[in-house]
Structures are given as C-alpha cells and as structure tokens.
Structure 1
Amino acid sequence: MRKLSYATLLLMLLTWLPTVAQQKVSSLKPKQISPDLFGIFFEDLSYAADGGLYAELIQNRSFEYSPADNRDWHSLTAWKYQTDGFGYGTISVETTAPVHSNNPHYVVLNVEEEGQKGVGLENSGFDGIPVKAGKGYRFSVFLNVMSANPLPIAVALVDDKGKELGSSTFTATGHGWKKYTEQININFDDDDARLVMLVKSKGKVGIDMVSLFPTETFKHHENGMRADLAQVIADLKPKFMRFPGGCLTHGDGVANIYRWKNTIGPVEQRTDQRNIWNYHQSMGLGFFEYFQFCEDIHAKPVPVLAAGVSCQNSGGTWRIGSTGQKGIPMDEMKAYVQDVLDLIEYANGSVNSTWGSKRAAAGHPAPFNLEYLGIGNEDKITGLFEDRFRMIYDAVHKAHPEIKIIGTVGPSPNGEDFDKGWKLANQLNVGIVDEHYYEKPQWFLKNTARYNNYDRQRSKVYIGEYASWGNKLFNALCEAVYMTNLERNGDVVRMASYAPLIARIGHTSWNPDLIYFNGTRVFPTVNYYVQQQFAANSGSEYLPDVITLKGDQATKDTTVGVSCVRDKATGDIILKIANAGNNAVSGVAQLGKIGAFPGSAMLTTISGDMQAENTANNPDAVLPKSTAISLQKNWSFTVPAYSFSVLRIKVSRVK
C-alpha cells in the first residue's frame, strides 16, 4: 500500500469535513423556506412621504393644497406673504398659464414698492425647516418674469426672529417659465427655520415649484430621500418593499385611485393628488423613486395597484362591510389593464420599448427586475371586484407569466371576505395571496400554529400588513414568537411585513408604527429591532429538532417560540428563542446535529420590562445587546422572561 503524505491526508480531511456537515444537516430533514420572507411595507400615511422619507423641505411647494385635502387648507397653506421693510404689492393664485397643466396653480407677485428688504414669500416647511451648520441645501424655483426689467431675487433661510442662517442671490430674466437653482450654505444650526424668497425691485413675476433639498440625500440622488430616515429603513435589511400603500392604492373613490403614470417624469409635470389619509401627495416620491430606493437598499420591489375598484370605505364609511366600493367603468377597464401592463414594461422593458425608454430617460437604463406585482388591497370581495380582478389577472398572467401576482383576501384574518378571497384565488390559481391582520398581542400567541396545516399545493401567503396593537416590549416579543412560526412555515408563507413602516410624530394617522420620526431625529421602536433581527438573520432552510425546551409545560407554552435556520449563502446557522412569558425558559440546542461548529458565537438579546417602550423622550429604553458566548455540542441555555435571543453560528460552509 502506498504511503500517503501528511499534506495529502490533510487535504483529504478538509475535503471530507464539509461532506460530514452536509450529511448531518441532511439528517435533520431541512425544509426549504422563502428567500424573501421578511421585508417592509411603505404606505404614504402619517406624512411618510411628503414631510417624511421624501427629502423635500418645502411644504405645498406648488401651491396645490386645497380644502379637498384638508378642510382648513388652501393654495397658500404653509406660506406667508412677506412685506417686512415697508414694501408692498399684491399677491394672487392663478391658473391661466402654468408651468404644466398637471400642476395648474401658481402665485403671481406684483411688487409695487420693494421697500428696504423686498417683497416675497415665506415657507414654514413641515413643522419648521431643520438645517445644519456647514451643510448645503439646494434651492430651486420656476419663475416667469411678467414685467419688462430683470428682477433681483434674494433667497435665505432664517430663524424665527429673522436672523439669516444662509442665503444666495440671483437675477430672474425674460418672459416664460424658467427654472433657477442655487445652493444655500448654512452657518448656524436651527430646527425651526423658514425659507424666505424676496423680489428686490418693482416688477411682476409668476412663482411655482419652490423647492429645497439637502444636498446630502440618501445615496445622493437629486430628487432623493431623507438620509437618516432612509438609512434606518435600510438597516432593517429587508428582502422586499411593498409600495406605495394599502388603502392609499385603491383610494377614496374611483377618481382618487392611485395612478402610477401620474408619478413619473419631471416633478413639475406630475399630478398632485389628495391623500386618502386627509392630507396631500406631491408625487415627488413616485414610482421611479420607489424602484430606485428598493434598489438602493437591496430590496425586491413589490408595487401594489388597485384592482379596478376603490376602497370599500370610500366616503368616510370606515367600518367593516362598508359599501363605498366603486368600480372603474367597464368601458374604461381595457385602458386600465393596459396601464398595469405598461408598469411591467416600465420596470423591466428594454430601453427601446415605449415605457422602458421613459425609465431610461429618468436615468436608469437597466431594468429594475420586477418579480412581484400586487393587485388589490384588503378589498371587499364583491362581484364588482371579482370581474375587474379577473380581467387584470388574466391579462398579466398571459402577457407576463414570469411575474408573480399577489391577490388579496380582505382586511381580516378570517370572515366572509377572507373566505371569498381564498375561493377566488383557488379558482384562478393565483400564486400568492395577501393576508392582513392587526390584533391584540395575545392573538399572536394563540395563533402560532396558523399556517401549520395550510395546503402546500395552493397559493402561497404574503402577510402584507400585521402588527399587535402597541410598541411595548411585550408587543414586540409576541410578534417575535409568531415570527418563529413564520420561519417554520416558510415554505407556505412567502413574505411578511410589519405595518405601517414610518410615522411623523404629531401627524400619525395610525398606531402602532415601526419607526417614528420628527424633523431632526428618527426613533426606532422595540418592534423595529425584532424585525431587524429576523430580516438580518434570515435563512434559506428551516432545521427542525435542533432546539429542545426543558419541561413538558415549556414545550406547550405558546408564550415561547423557537426556530433554527440555515443561511445557504454564508453557511451560518441561526437560532432564535423568543420568550413573551414572565418566567425564564431553559433548553438545549443539539449543535452536534449541524456539523462542525466553532467554540464561540455571537448572542444578541433584546430584553427588559414588558412595559418598556422606546419613545422620543426615551429612545434607548430597549436596545439589542450582543456578546460572544462559548458553545458546546449540546448547548444548554436559559433565556430570561420577556426576552428575544438570536445566536448566529459560523459553520463550515456546505456546498
């Protein structure tokens, strides 16, 4: 027998070890789970877009506010006619010759005497305009000089006493609308600044699309996102993002249905719209920006379009079984279905296609790789809905069989619409259906077996909106217990997203939310940190029978949830133990089953008083804490009451 060298033996051993790991993992009979399990849902409510994620600092920048948005609003809401310094003139809102017909309102300023400072406009932003010393802000405006002479213009950011924080000057010339852009550099911090634009000589001028952006937006996009808020969202590591909303999508009546084509192209040509949540959408954050943001945070885009009907709660009838649902007239449905098909072309079409060329013209010649498309949201399953949904579904499925269509089964986890929605999905063989539920935290503990017996041969499930009623640690832990069971059923639950995502403090339309913010700060909830741990530590395989809880009662106690998954991309094994009960829980993880493992690993824990809550006044009440711990073949553990623990183990990678 030939004698083998030490090097040869070492090479054989290294080759053999992954095989052993493969065999040991295989002995666990791993279950494949969705690669897109945990993501986010963005809806423009609670000032999530304008005044929120969209970085525009001017409120009502194009003078399109009206009492239809809010009974107390008008074209000059958030604006003040500025005549300090003994100047005077007249101001009016007109629509005769706008920058674009989609943006009809503009201001005409006639300066009869400029006085010592000039005459103009002041904007208060969204609860003030926050600015930072040493930072730059990009100002732009469309002006139409209607008088004979050029007009000197001064633009400044000032504090509440009129002190100048930074300024710039330029000259507006010639008839017709022209866009002017200036950078304002700030010398002092202020959380409550105002933008002032003054005409410094006699004359008449049209004013529209007054805009102010920080130069440092997220990923430095010109029409971009608020950097700090976007980064907190990105830090969730979501696998997908659903947008632009739920109820927002199908709107308050047919005329208010969200039309994606109104949200693309130059911002001055987009069509503003009343928000179903009783404020205004500038559409500056439109479908191009949504797709781009998804790309920036490495999340798959999941746009949702109305199923040809408006919200059943239209007209203010916000109750289960409301009858405000209206349908797009059938003679208009062919055009609406084409709009849906055009969206797919806009996202995925070549630069030579009609709508792909518009995407390219916006600065993105490469496709956005759209994979999912939602049709409908929490709709009442009526004949009106079914007829229109079938038309859209059949057309999309025929033209784009590669697109995974997501249907809807109403607003609740059970009931008439739920049953009818599932019946329709089964008839059409819809690939995925969207279930929603907002419930008490105890509901999540009592329903941890919800998906155990779902038929694996029918539609997969997207839990598009779910949350327990509250942002306390107990709420987040009940959600964590529930989420361990989503992992266990990750073969039938394809996606899940907590909702709503973000809310501006002082303007919340719905509670609870995952992230709160004001003009200067962002406040992640405890629920946020739980969601973050699941998304950042997701797996591609569920490994059963690795974790065993001690004691018969512990295994039956629905206040405890455990999960073990493997991430194929890294080879890591991730254990999750959620305890929403008032007693510590002990158990054993049989790490020997997963193959070769290191002597230590990182343990991250979220724990505290069950009533603890992260707020603006106490934003760090509960935070994840990580520490390195030693591991053994049979790792014994005890997790405290009201805690969530995540153990990530670096294992020899299995090919």
Structure 2
Amino acid sequence: MLRTGDRTTWLSLVSLFPPTYKNRPNGLRPDLMQMLVDMKPKFLRFPGGNYLEGNTFKDRFPWKETLGPLEDRPGHQGTWGYRSTDGLGMMEFLLWCEDMGAKPLLGLFAGYVLNKDYIKAGPELEGFVQDALDQIEYVVGDAKRTKWGARRAKDGHPEPFPLEYVEIGNEDWFDESGSYEGRFVQFYDAVKKKYPKLKVISSTGGKDYGGAKFPITKRRPDLWDEHYYSEAWDMMGMATQYDNYDRKGPKVFVGEWAAHDTKAPWEAGPEAGPTPNMKCTLGDAAFMTGMERNSDVVEMSCYAPLLVNANPGGRQWSLNLIGYDALNTFGSPSYYAQKMFAENLGDRTVALNLADVPTQSKGDKTLPGIFASATRDTKTGTLYVKLVNALPSAQEVAFDLKGANVAPSGTMTTLHHDDLKAMNSLEEPTKIAPKTARVENLGSSFRQTLPAQSVTVLKLEAKK
C-alpha cells in the first residue's frame, strides 16, 4: 500500500528479484537451487501433498490459472494458513525440474479436498478427469498438434518435458468414505488410454498406516505411495520394512518420510526445529539403507518437507530438510546424509551380511546398532558401502569382501556429532557436516572404525 498525499494506492503484485539460477525470469534463488542440484535429484513431485487438494474445492491447486504473466494470476488460498500468489506456477515448476536435471512427478487433483468433501466416481467427476488430461497435455503435448502443447509453447517452451510418472491425488486415505478406489479407476483408465506409457501412482493401497486401510483391487497401480513420519527409533526399526515385500506386486514410491525426535512435526509446533537434529538423522539414514537395499521394490523416494523459511512465524512444521531466510541457506544433518548417499551410488545393489552386530534396546524392543547397504558401479567396479552406527560408542567393523578386487587406498566420508540434539542453523550452517579422508591398507579383508552416532560412506575403488 502506498500513500501519496491524500490518495491511497493498493498494489496487487510486488515482485523484486535478485539474480536467479541460470538467470531465469521469475526464477529461483541460486543458493537454494545449488543445494538441491548437489543432491543429484532424479525427480521433483509437484504440486506436492495437501497443497494439491486444498481445504475446499475452490482452494485446490488451480494449475491453469498459474500460467502466463504474473500480474494475471489471481492466486489462491493455500492449505497452511497463507495465501499463495502462484508466482511459482506450472511452468516454473517444470523449468525448476529442467534446471536441476530432474524429471517432474505430476500430482493430479482427484476430486477430494481436506474438509472431507469429495466427488464420487461417475459423470460429475469427469470434468476433473479432463482437467488432469489437459494438465498432462501441457507437459508432454505436441506444440503444433495439441491445444495445451501449443499453450506451453506460447509460454516459452516448445519442447515437451520428460514426464514418466503421475500420481492420482494425495493421501486419499483421509477420505473415510472409501470413494478413492472408484475415483482412482476413473482417472487411471483415462490416463492409460491416452498415455499408456505413463506410470500411474495410487495414493492408497500401500502398507503405510493410511494406505493399508483402503486397498486398491480393481486396477493394478504401477506404484503406490507410502508416507512415514516416525520417531527416530521406529524409523530405525523400519530399515527392514521392504525386505519381505512382494516382488511381484506394485513398486513403491515413498513419497513422504522423515524421522522425528520426541514429538511428531505437526504436534511439535513452529517453535521446534526447523530442521532435524542428529538423532533424527540417524533414523533417516538407517531407513535409507533399507530403501537402497530394496531398490528393486522401492522405485522412488523423497523426504518431506523439502524447504522451510527459518524465520520465527515462517513455518508450521518442525522438520524440514533445508532452511533459509532472505539471504542465507543451510542444510540439515539429514540433508547431508542424503547428499552422501546420492554422491556415492552404483547401478547395482550388492548383497551383504551383518554378523555379530551389537544391539540397542528401548523398552522391550531390541534393534541392531549398525545398519548398512552397498552398491557397485558396474563400469568402474567401485563399491560404495553405507554404514550407520546408532550406538553411543565407536565400533570397529571387520570387512570380508567376497570376490572383490579392492585397491589399497579409498575414501571414508563421515557425518557425526556427539550430541544427538545438535542441529545446524542459520548461525551455524555446517555445525554437522560430512568430512572426507583417505583410508589405507584396504583389500578383500580389512578393519575400519565407525565413530559413535555416525553416518559413514566407504568408497572402495577397484584395483587396477
């Protein structure tokens, strides 16, 4: 609002941008984008979870209204108590993916909103199905032969984007009426008819708490989406979650997951966090070893939420991967654990066996104290071994590598802190950060000590 003399002028849009990543008009902050690029992401899910649905039908993500000049976008009421300008619209999301070298995972509104209103499968749902098909066409449609492909070209991107996955709705197990399967079938059939190569994800049917309540039996989704927000101890227990999954069933998309300390992020309040501490990181990393070991079942996964305004009053959720304010950014310890996993990844999993592992106990439950996974780069022969020592003392590990021809020198990257409550912040952005050192005297058999309460990656190159 501007006051000039006796006149008052209201401004509907004020947009001030410093330099952006790759100098995109209406683009993204270089510091935040670089942190994301450094994670080597393969996909980005948009428009995400509850933001897709909205609290009411008029508050759902209005993708068509997010196209074109900023001043023509009306915006809409967001889910978390604030209004969205929709300055980050459909095209900006697609360019975000492109600039990161990632592919979009498109969430499609499926006829359910968070005030528990929904539209049953049938003629009344058909308009929303068509809107979803239009949205897909905007992403992949031919610029000369399709209406929405032509609109994409008009918006500055003639070439289609590389879409492979769409998800029907989000957490539709909140719809206690059980209408989701009927709605899913209607969307699934329409999408597969027009785009048979797209992989369709269901938001229920998995083995998480909500998904298991509403199985999908009338169609076979390509993947189902499972969400896990668990206390760090329970997240460690889930390191074996996928060991016994049916290899003939749908693949798994772990679309939201995060370990918390003593209180769930929706209960802890905005005063907590805003990012995970070292205790949470150990739970996250243990769970990641399980997903990596079972990557024949877990096709995709992503931590949530990804970004948080760390200023007081700027958040509603106590756990987020990356924090920022107007000028600065920082990664949580869990961010660095994920970065370590992404930077040290082969193209084949390697079977491993943990013997004589020390344990940890809580109440009447006992868990391993060490968790591990391994992959191999088939082109170079490099082995990547990830280990999580959740115990309060250092642990010496004896390695026996069957059939491996390991060079005598390698690297060891470690993320560690003695205080489980420690976390990074705007003031101390790298209080907990990985450190890499050379390790010597490696071979088919060797010993290595893991620091207490640590995440470690061993990079073992093949002998030349």
Structure 2 counterpart of 1:306: 109
| Alignment-derived partner of residue 585 in structure 1 | 395
Structure 1: how far apart are the matches of 2:28 and 2:35?
A: 12
Whether 2:5 is the aligned partner of 1:213: answer no
Question: 1:44-99 CA deviation, whole Å, 9 max, x = no partner?
Answer: xxxxxxxxxxxxxxxxxxxxxxxxxxxxxxxxxxx3x344xxxx13225xxxxxxx
Matches within 5 A, 1:198-597: 209-214=13-18, 216-311=19-114, 314=115, 324-327=116-119, 331-352=123-144, 353-379=146-172, 380-381=174-175, 382-409=177-204, 413-414=208-209, 417-421=210-214, 423-424=215-216, 426-470=217-261, 471-505=276-310, 506=312, 507-545=314-352, 548-550=354-356, 557-568=367-378, 571-591=381-401, 593-594=403-404, 596-597=405-406
**Does the CA contact (< 8 Å) of 2:121 and 2:179 recur in 1?**
no
Q: Which moved more, 1:457-466 or 1:263-272?
A: 263-272
CA distance in 2, matches of 1:412, 1:386: 16
* CA spacing shift, 1:232–1:246, aligned 2, 3 Å: same
Q: 1:501 to 1:246 in 2, by over 3 A?
A: same
Is residue 21–residue 29 contact of structure 2 (8 Å, CA) maintained in 1? yes
**Partner secondary structure for residue 448 of structure 1:** helix
Q: Which amino acid aligns with 1:389?
A: F
Is residue 567–residue 573 contact of structure 1 (8 Å, CA) maintained in 2?
Answer: yes
Structure with higher Rg: it is 1
Deviations 1:296-343 (A, max 9, x none): 1111211212211112xx2xxxxxxxxx33337954422211111122
The higher-RCO structure (CA 8 Å, 6+ apart) is 1
Q: Give how far 1:539 is off.
A: 2.9
Distance 1:518 1:639 in 2: 35
Q: CA deviation at 1:229?
A: 1.3
> What is aligned with 1:141?
none
Letter in 1 for 2:23: H
**Which amino acid letter does the alignment assign opposite residue 388 of structure 2?**
A
Change in 2 beyond 3 A, CA 1:575/1:639:
same
Q: Distance in 1 between matches of 2:399 and 2:149?
A: 51
CA–CA distance in structure 1, aligned partners of residues 344 and 16 of structure 2: 38
Q: What does residue range 86-101 of structure 1 map to in structure 2 within 5 Å?
A: 88-91=5-8
Report the alpha carbon displacement of residue 571 of structure 1 after superposing the two structures with TM.
4.2
The Cα of 1:516 is off from its aligned counterpart by 1.0
**Where do 1:604-643 residues align within 5 Å?**
604-609=413-418, 610-630=420-440, 631-643=442-454
Quick check: 1:648 aligned with 2:431? no
* In structure 2, C-alpha distance between the alignment counterparts of 1:540 and 1:575, rounded to whole Å: 13
Write the distance in 2 (CA, Å) between the matches of 1:570 and 1:209: 53
Kindly tell me the number of residue pairs found equivalent between the two proteins: 438
Tell me which amino acid in the other structure corresponds to 1:599.
P
Deviations 1:381-419 (A, max 9, x none): 5343332222111111121111011111289922xx422
Aligned residue identity for 1:478:
G
Deviation string, structure 1 residues 529-565 (Cα, Å, up to 9, x no partner): 01111122233211113x64555759x8423111110
In 2, Cα distance between equivalents of 1:307 and 1:619 = 40
Is contact 2:143-2:158 (8 Å) kept?
A: yes
Q: Which 5+ residue runs of structure 2 have no aligned equivalent?
A: 262-275, 361-365
Displacement of 1:591 after TM fit? 3.8
Q: 1:325 to 1:412 in 2, by over 3 A?
A: farther
Unaligned 5+ residue runs, structure 1? 1-78, 93-106, 108-206, 315-323
Distance 2:455 2:281 in 1: 9
Tell whether the 8 Å contact from 1:466 to 1:498 is kept in structure 2 after alignment.
Answer: yes
Letter in 1 for 2:69: P
Percent of pairs identical after alignment?
A: 35
What's the TM-score once normalised by structure 2's chain length?
A: 0.89
What's the CA shift for 1:461?
0.8
Retained in 2: the 8 A contact 1:241–1:301? yes
Kept in 2, the 8 Å contact 1:541–1:565? The answer is yes
**Taking structure 1 as reference, are residues 270 and 412 closer, same or farther at Cα in structure 2, changes over 3 Å only?**
farther
Distance 1:445 1:552, change over 3 A: closer
Q: Which residue of 1 aligns with 2:267?
A: none
Match of 1:7 in 2: none
CA contact (8 A) 1:548 1:587 kept: no
TM-score (norm 1): 0.64
Q: For residue 189 of structure 2, what is the amino acid of its counterpart?
A: D
| Secondary structure of the corresponding residue to residue 403 of structure 2 | helix
Q: How far apart, CA to CA, are the structure 2 residues paired with 1:524 and 1:557?
A: 28
Q: In the aligned structure 1, how far is the partner of 2:14 from the partner of 2:449?
A: 59
Q: Which residue of 2 aligns with 1:35?
A: none
Change (3 A) 1:328 1:558: same
- Contact 1:234/1:297 (<8 A) preserved: yes
How far 1:265 sits from its partner (Å)?
2.0
Deviation at 1:218? Answer: 0.7
Decide whether aligned partners of structure 1 residues 82 and 90 sit closer, same or farther in structure 2, where only a CA change above 3 A counts. closer
Q: Which structure dedicates a bigger proportion of its chain to strand?
A: 1
Letter of the aligned partner of 2:33 in structure 1? A
Partner SS state of residue 171, structure 2: coil
